[in-house]
Amino acid sequence: MSSSIVKTLTCVAVAGAFFIAAVYYGFKPFFLVAAFFDWLPLPTGWMRVSGPSRPPLVRRAGMIHGIVTVVAYVIGIAWLIITSVGPVNLGFVFLEVWFLAVITGAYATSVACGG
């Protein structure tokens, strides 16, 4: 396994632990720490797919991952501002959508690595 994939997975695992703690305990500053670790692989280049050109399936999988991630963060930022909408805690909705983003990211990585 590539060291950049290991670094990315480690950052996502740390982010997940902080996101869960933030929502479960209602300690919103943990959200910011988690977001830092979640986005860290992007500017460092650890998420970059090597190769001269990316096939359409890899590009599409990456785009789906990006869209789901942005939707999750819109919900997460809404949770920072207002905790719930009626009986629905936006923090738990954020966690559900964020986990979907993690799954789509894993799928995108699998497709990019030829799996």
* CA angle 67–12–89, rounded 5-degree value: 65
| Residue range of the domain that includes 104 | 3-46+54-112
| Section 36-42 average pLDDT | 94
The H-or-E segment that residue 13 falls in is: helix 3-25
Domain count within the chain: 1
DSSP assigned state of 34: H
Instruction: Supply the pLDDT for residue 3.
Output: 86
More confident residue, 73 or 111: 73
Q: Check pLDDT > 80 for residue 44.
A: yes
Q: What is the pLDDT of residue 1?
A: 57
Average confidence (pLDDT) over 56-68: 89
Residue 33's pLDDT is: 97
Q: What is the pLDDT of residue 113?
A: 79
